[in-house]
Amino acid sequence: MSYTNFTFDIDNDGIALVTWDMPDRSMNVFTEEAMLELNAIVDKVASDASIKGAVITSGKDTFSGGADITMLQKMLSKFAADKAKDLDKATKVLFDNAGYMTGLFRKLETSGKPWVSAINGTCMGGAFELSLACHGRVAADSDKVKMALPEVKIGIFPGAGGTQRVPRLTDQQQALQMLTSGQTLSPQKAKSMGLIHQIAEPTKLVETAKAMIKNGLKPVAPWDEKAFKLPGGPVYSVAGANLWPPAIAILRRETYGNYPAAAAILKCVYEGLLVPFDTGLRIEQRYFTEIMQTREAAAMIRSLFVSLQELNKGARRPAGVPETKFKKIGVLGAGFMGAGIAYVTAKAGIPVVLLDRDMDAAAKGKAHSDSLISDQIRKGRAKPEDKDRLLSLITPTADYADLTGCDLVVEAVFEDSGVKKDATEKAEAVLKPAAVFASNTSTIPITSLAKNSARPKNFIGIHFFSPVDKMMLVEIILGKKTGDKALATAIDFVRAIKKTPIVVNDTRGFYVNRCVLRYMSEAYKMLIEGVPAPMIENAAKAAGMPVGPLALTDETAIDLAQKIMKQTMRDLGDKAVDPKQMALINTLVDTHGRFGRKNGKGFYDYPQKPAKKKLWPGLKDLYPQLPPEKVDYEELKQRLLVTIALEAARVMEEGIVTDPREADVGSILAFGFAPFTGGVLSYIDGIGAKKFVKIAKGLRKKNGGEFKAPKLLLDMAEKGETFYERFDPYARSEARKAA
């Protein structure tokens, strides 16, 4: 029998080599077809007496990315369509579909023939669950080999036996940490946990796997042996009593109950370890079916997997423009941002010229890259030779002539229109006509800056977030005259440095900063009202934000917030900024010299390490404090999320962002908008426009005009629309293809 996704060969020793190599895909994934073929292969191995066992490996550089998540989306779509007719029947179908992979892996595990997984590269999700079902596991000794069960990061959990096999192979504490965090394991870490058996030289991987079978590998999983005992001891033991109560408390502390999948993992492991293995699988299947029906799972799968992948692949890239292969990039300004941009560019293997006013400043910028890569080496995430290669790609200079031959120049000089004008003119004087010029400005409109350019069609905004090496999002801003070539080049660059691009039209603050400033502003307002600062920060975290608004202001700098407020007043008039909030910021900066983390004093105090930051006690003396019991804590959480969501809706109404995928993914990657909601627009869609408008009206009545719903939302509420219906990104892309 021939297979589309696998090759099947039997050697002279009777050992079958099953090589997973899906055509027309860069990575193997479990599709319906692939699972049916694997099912047939398992039957063949089990039924053919001449076959002594089987090794499964990959014909690609990676082993597998796991299940095709779009397959799960289809399951959810079918469930949504069928549940209105017959909920019980629809749930049963979902349950059966969710259990197919579980049944397949259990069939392999109990087939009576030994199976060994030879893991040659990235092995994620369902692929690692397949490996755990094999009787032997060998991983290549390579940095390319990464193993994980990361499903919790997209709102689901390992539902093909992962929650049952991992805690039966390693102790429960390590199992829970791995499962609830989606922790990535190196071969060495996986072996120390007992999740794999051997580590082999890459060229001897299959040979080592076959040797396990030749040496008498038992075709029985440990938990199917009568004498099996849990590695860390039973749940009901002293060790269990010391683990489970704190584990539940830690999960609550870390997730605030916002992630049903993480809670389901604890239930699966706890309950599953109290019963026989097959019953544990059944328990897992039931919880998986339950989690698949949650709003959180649907939203997170869409935004954090499907949409994220589509944007990373260039979903917004103009069609018909040849891809740019970068030979040389220029960065103007070797300060913190410019140095960071140079680092990620060189890390991607692209030569970069780092220019500043003099060689000392430029060399200091290059030293930043030296510091970053050295830190990676200390942490074991890079090798000494990586440092030499990266630093060799960065050329510090003070001479604009060195920009000759650059395909793209990114300007990251001081946030001053005059300085930027001078840098633009000097750079364009030496650039080839087809080169693209990009500004990293965070406050000045791109259309305004493009007036300094002799070729505005090739002028664009590429807005990085700080710190550049860690932040995964990049805003690409279109000026009024920006052409498709500039947009395509910008997207190509962002993809080349392995960041996620979103495309926005020109406006003050663009997209991300408009939303972030609303978040901070609402916190200032709460402080002025007398809400205790700890309640504000804790409410933000409980609502799902990774960082409280006061801590975030400290990170970006309070004096920067002051400058932005003053500039806004100069540009738009005194009424553009709440005078009480201006007074608060002025008091902190001018009276108390509190600039934020950078000078160790902001809304928080920053003592020397290892002491942790703590809120400045003086905050409570700035305004009369409300008794905590008089503060509606749930309303605080709601205010912080709704104010951001309303601003995002205004951005969509104004046509600044036109694709809901970008609004959602951007809100999560840039400032961590409650990931369990799927992003800022999915938050509104999940609540429903009509109900959301009602919530906003209630908040407006109590808290002011910033909670006024835009006309777009009112119209959507009346028509019962969602953002993904109103601004369907797939309909637009299909229309573009048809054109």
Three-state SS for 278-290 is HHHHHHHHHHHHH
- CA 322 to chain CA centroid, Å, is 28
Lowest-confidence segment of 93-97, 213-217, 222-226, 480-484 by average pLDDT = 93-97
Residue 529 has pLDDT above 70, yes or no: yes
- Tokens at 684, concatenated: 């509104």
Nearest Cα to 3, choosing from 20, 17, 16? Answer: 20
CATH code for the part of the protein at 6-293: 3.90.226.10
- End-to-end distance of the chain based on CA atoms, in angstroms? 43
Q: Which CATH architecture has domain 329-508?
A: 3-Layer(aba) Sandwich (3.40)
Residue 396 phi/psi, 5° resolution? Answer: -75, 145
Residue 83: pLDDT band by 50, 70, 90 thresholds? confident
What local confidence, expressed as pLDDT, does residue 81 receive? 85
- The whole-number average pLDDT for the span 457-461 is 97
Residue 581 phi/psi, 5° resolution? Answer: -70, -35
Return mean pLDDT, the chain. Answer: 94
What local confidence, expressed as pLDDT, does residue 196 receive? 97
- Tokens at 181, concatenated: 């965090």
Contact criterion met (CB below 8 Å) for 510 and 504: yes
Residues forming CATH 3.90.226.10 domain(s) in the chain: 6-293
Residue 408 has pLDDT above 70, yes or no: yes
Residue 442: pLDDT band by 50, 70, 90 thresholds? confident
What local confidence, expressed as pLDDT, does residue 317 receive? 95
What local confidence, expressed as pLDDT, does residue 443 receive? 75
Q: Which residues, 6+ apart, have CB-to-CB distance to 150 below 8 Å?
A: 124, 125, 182, 184
Residue 739 has pLDDT above 60, yes or no: no
What CA–CA distance (Å, rounded) separates 223 from 712? 57
pLDDT digits (tens, 9 = 90+) for 91-126: 999 999 989 999 999 999 999 999 999 999 999 999
Contact criterion met (CB below 8 Å) for 697 and 690: no
Nearest Cα to 5, choosing from 307, 15, 27? Answer: 27
> Burial letters for 573-604: b for 16+ Cβ neighbours within 10 Å, e otherwise?
eeeebbeebbebbeebbeeeebbbbeeebbbb
Residue 3 has pLDDT above 80, yes or no: yes
What local confidence, expressed as pLDDT, does residue 414 receive? 86
Residue 348 has pLDDT above 80, yes or no: yes
What local confidence, expressed as pLDDT, does residue 206 receive? 97
HSE-CB of 218 using CA atoms within 13 angstroms: 6
Residues forming CATH 1.10.1040.50 domain(s) in the chain: 513-726
Residue 170 phi/psi, 5° resolution? Answer: -135, 175
- Tokens at 96, concatenated: 């059966």
Q: Is the dihedral of CA 115, 120, 123, 127 positive or negative?
A: negative
Residue 732: pLDDT band by 50, 70, 90 thresholds? low
What local confidence, expressed as pLDDT, does residue 71 receive? 84
pLDDT digits (tens, 9 = 90+) for 540-555: 999 999 999 999 999 9
Query: What does each C-alpha distance from 400 to 355, 369, 430 come to in angstroms?
Result: 7, 21, 7
Residue indicated by tokens 């339950």 = 290
Residue 381: pLDDT band by 50, 70, 90 thresholds? confident
Percentage with pLDDT > 70 across the chain: 99
What CA–CA distance (Å, rounded) separates 254 from 555? 21
- The whole-number average pLDDT for the span 335-346 is 96
Residue 738 has pLDDT above 70, yes or no: no
Residues 689-693: contacts with CB within 8 Å, 24+ apart?
689/713, 689/716, 689/717, 689/720, 689/721, 689/722, 690/717, 690/718, 690/720, 692/642, 692/645, 692/717, 693/717
Q: What is the pTM of this model?
A: 0.92
- Tokens at 95, concatenated: 């349950």
Helix, strand, coil: what percent of the chain each, to 5? Answer: 55, 10, 35
What CA–CA distance (Å, rounded) separates 293 from 296? 9
What CA–CA distance (Å, rounded) separates 543 from 639? 10
Query: What does each C-alpha distance from 695 to 225, 257, 430, 549, 667 come to in angstroms?
Result: 57, 22, 56, 21, 21
What local confidence, expressed as pLDDT, does residue 690 receive? 97
pLDDT digits (tens, 9 = 90+) for 470-504: 999 999 999 999 999 999 999 999 999 999 999 99
What CA–CA distance (Å, rounded) separates 201 from 141? 5
What local confidence, expressed as pLDDT, does residue 737 receive? 54
Residue 309, amino acid: Q
Q: Which residues, 6+ apart, have CB-to-CB distance to 406 below 8 Å?
A: 328, 329, 330, 353, 431, 432, 435
What local confidence, expressed as pLDDT, does residue 736 receive? 54
Query: Would you identify the CATH topology of the domain 513-726?
Result: N-(1-d-carboxylethyl)-l-norvaline Dehydrogenase; domain 2 (1.10.1040)
Instruction: Describe the strand order of the beta sheet including 394-397 as a list of residue ranges.
Output: 394-397, 352-355, 329-332, 408-411, 436-439, 459-464, 473-478, 500-505
- The whole-number average pLDDT for the span 1-7 is 91
Residue 82: pLDDT band by 50, 70, 90 thresholds? confident
Residue 189 has pLDDT above 80, yes or no: yes
Residue 84: pLDDT band by 50, 70, 90 thresholds? confident
- Tokens at 245, concatenated: 């109560």
Residue 192 has pLDDT above 80, yes or no: yes
Q: Where are the alpha helices (DSSP H) in 497-632?
A: 512-529, 533-542, 549-556, 558-572, 579-586, 619-622
Residues forming CATH 3.40.50.720 domain(s) in the chain: 329-508
Q: Which residues, 6+ apart, have CB-to-CB distance to 370 below 8 Å?
A: 387, 391
